[in-house]
């Protein structure tokens, strides 16, 4: 293992825990609520689909902040890096607070639009209206994580989120089973845990923001994040449209398929973020190198970095795929005791195991491209991937007997498409960057 691999892994280990935090909240909710009944689990599936859309759409703040902070620190622009962090936190607070009334007032219509009805609709609305209160804390935490990632300081976020998840487990078990609050208890435990995490993040990043020359909200300072965010929102929106659409299709088949799909999606999101643990350090390192060039310093070979990230990601994904394949029947039983749900979940998990391999390639190159600030391409390509799987979705809707296998087959087509296109784009972009770096160094 060379020094580059060692540095990537050293950064990836704490990043892994940090990225896994949000889906861990959902895994705990899914495991606990799954014991309450199929309708409750179906309601959770609908509510989580909505919340995931909001939270993942806010990830542009993390990605944009990481790239801009790392780039400025690489160029030794300490004050400018701190200014980026301050404006990211303000933007996170604005976005998070604005989302709360929309989610509370629109819970019923949004859940209905995703196919929820009767008891499933009731539980979805109940969870969503309570969990909406956690969104401002989550989005501010995303901004703070961007500051920490940009500074290559991954351990503090890991500590905060491990403590938050531990608190969530304890509080949820007490509220759901001790106080018999059911789905509401699961939602309140998430609010409490994520509020604590948000407050802790603000405390941690104070030291990194102390050099800022601008403390108040400043639109011109936020504009670069918003510009990058426009393209990153298209990326996230297109990706989530794929999964939200899949959830809506599952809801229209039957309750057992919806519950099984929720279990498989929850596991996928958890595993996807584990794989992303290598892409996040790569994003930081590439942005740092671009900043170093501004100071006339030589940088590492970004093409080599991309290849190493992809190689490590595929090795990791292969191990995960083997584990998922072997444990698929057992994993299904962890989340539900319903025989139909178990059967459908097992089938979905087997397809998921195959999907992880092209997923590893797609995620690795996503991180590299974000590090180069290739936002426009990322957004447009993501929309194209979405349009490419629409015909498959239409077939599944018209042929409900395809069930969860049809749904996840469509996702299995979508992921290799992302992997192939991202691979080609990374080679083109980084070859261009390499020549630009060489020209800059020659001129200096």
DSSP for 365-399, written as a single string: HHHHHHHTT-HHHHHHHHHHHHHHHHHHHHHHHH-
Do 216 and 89 form a contact (C-beta atoms < 8 A)? no
Which runs of consecutive H residues, i.e. helices, occur in 75-134? 78-113, 118-131
Do 352 and 325 form a contact (C-beta atoms < 8 A)? no
CA 371 to chain centre: 16
Angle at which helices 375-398 and 219-253 cross, to 10°:
20
pLDDT value at residue 128: 96
The mean pLDDT of 218-222, rounded to a whole number, is: 86
Comparing 198 with 114, the larger pLDDT belongs to 198
pLDDT value at residue 294: 63
- What is the C-alpha separation between 161 and 23, in angstroms, rounded? 11
The mean pLDDT of 36-46, rounded to a whole number, is: 90
- Phi-psi domain of 217 (left: phi exceeds 0; alpha: psi -120 through 50; beta: other): beta
User: What are the φ/ψ torsions at residue 94 (nearest 5 degrees)?
Assistant: -65, -50
Tokens 């310093």, located at residue: 297
pLDDT of 436 higher than 60:
no
- What is the C-alpha separation between 154 and 217, in angstroms, rounded? 26
The mean pLDDT of 269-291, rounded to a whole number, is: 81
pLDDT value at residue 433: 54
Which two structure tokens, joined as six digits, stand for 369?
């491209």
pLDDT value at residue 20: 65
Which two structure tokens, joined as six digits, stand for 125?
């609305």
- What is the C-alpha separation between 324 and 318, in angstroms, rounded? 10
Which runs of consecutive H residues, i.e. helices, occur in 177-301? 182-204, 206-209, 219-253, 255-294
pLDDT value at residue 79: 94
297 pLDDT tier (thresholds 50, 70, 90): low
- What is the C-alpha separation between 163 and 21, in angstroms, rounded? 10
pTM confidence score: 0.74
441 pLDDT tier (thresholds 50, 70, 90): very low
* Range ranked top by mean pLDDT from 131-135, 248-252, 336-340, 405-409: 131-135
- What is the C-alpha separation between 138 and 61, in angstroms, rounded? 12
pLDDT of 201 higher than 90:
yes
Do 425 and 365 form a contact (C-beta atoms < 8 A)? yes
**SS3 at position 76:** coil
Q: What's the burial of 219, exposed, middle or buried (CB within 10 Å: 0-12/13-18/19+)?
A: exposed
Tally the domains of the chain.
1
pLDDT in tens, 113-171: 988 889 999 999 999 999 999 999 999 999 999 999 999 898 898 899 889 988 999 99
The mean pLDDT of 198-209, rounded to a whole number, is: 94
Which two structure tokens, joined as six digits, stand for 26?
């959902």
DSSP secondary structure, 321-342, as one string: HHHHHHHHHHHHHHH---HHHH
Which two structure tokens, joined as six digits, stand for 305?
């970095």
pLDDT value at residue 296: 58
Lowest mean pLDDT among 106-115, 224-233, 376-385: 224-233
The mean pLDDT of 240-269, rounded to a whole number, is: 87
pLDDT of 444 higher than 80:
no
- What is the C-alpha separation between 432 and 193, in angstroms, rounded? 45
- What is the C-alpha separation between 155 and 152, in angstroms, rounded? 9
pLDDT of 429 higher than 60:
yes
- What is the C-alpha separation between 423 and 359, in angstroms, rounded? 12
pLDDT value at residue 432: 62
Domain that holds residue 393: 3-443
pLDDT value at residue 237: 80
CA 383 to chain centre: 17
């Amino acid at each position: 293992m060379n020094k580059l691999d060692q540095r990537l892994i050293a950064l990836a280990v704490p990043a892994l825990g940090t990225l896994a935090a949000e889906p861990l909240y959902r895994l705990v909710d899914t495991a606990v609520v799954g014991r309450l009944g199929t309708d409750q689990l179906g309601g959770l599936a609908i509510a989580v689909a909505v919340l995931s859309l909001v939270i993942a759409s806010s990830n542009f703040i993390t990605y944009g902040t990481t790239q801009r902070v790392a780039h400025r620190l690489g160029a030794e622009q300490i004050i400018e890096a701190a200014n980026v962090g301050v404006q990211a936190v303000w933007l996170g607070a604005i976005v998070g607070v604005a989302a709360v009334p929309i989610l509370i007032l629109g819970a019923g219509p949004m859940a209905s639009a995703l196919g929820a009805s009767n008891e499933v609709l009731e539980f979805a609305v109940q969870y969503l209206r309570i969990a909406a209160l956690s969104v401002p804390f989550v989005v501010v935490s995303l901004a703070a994580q961007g500051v920490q990632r940009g500074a290559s300081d991954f351990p503090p976020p890991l500590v905060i989120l491990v403590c938050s998840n531990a608190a969530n487990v304890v509080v949820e078990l007490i509220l759901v089973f001790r106080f018999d609050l059911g789905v509401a208890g699961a939602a309140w435990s998430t609010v409490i845990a994520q509020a604590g995490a948000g407050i802790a993040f603000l405390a941690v990043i104070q030291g990194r923001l102390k050099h800022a020359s601008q403390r108040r909200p400043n639109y011109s300072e936020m504009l670069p994040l918003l510009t990058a965010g426009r393209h990153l929102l298209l990326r996230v929106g297109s990706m989530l449209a794929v999964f939200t659409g899949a959830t809506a299709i599952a809801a229209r088949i039957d309750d057992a398929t919806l519950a099984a799909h929720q279990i498989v999606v929850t596991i996928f999101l958890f595993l996807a973020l584990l794989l992303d643990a290598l892409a996040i350090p790569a994003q930081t390192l590439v942005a740092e190198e671009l900043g170093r060039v501004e100071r006339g310093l030589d940088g590492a070979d970004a093409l080599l970095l991309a290849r190493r990230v992809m190689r490590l990601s595929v090795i990791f994904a292969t191990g995960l795929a083997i584990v998922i394949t072997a444990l698929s029947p057992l994993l299904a039983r962890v989340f539900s005791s319903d025989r139909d749900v178990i059967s459908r979940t097992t089938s979905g998990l087997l397809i998921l195991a195959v999907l992880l391999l092209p997923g590893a390639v797609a995620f690795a190159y996503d991180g590299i491209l974000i590090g180069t600030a290739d936002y426009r391409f990322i957004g447009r390509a993501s929309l194209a991937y979405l349009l490419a799987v629409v015909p498959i979705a239409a077939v599944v809707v018209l042929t409900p007997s395809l069930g969860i296998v049809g749904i996840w087959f469509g996702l299995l087509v979508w992921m290799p498409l992302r992997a192939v296109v991202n691979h080609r784009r990374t080679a083109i972009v980084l070859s261009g960057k390499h020549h630009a770096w060489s020209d800059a160094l020659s001129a200096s």
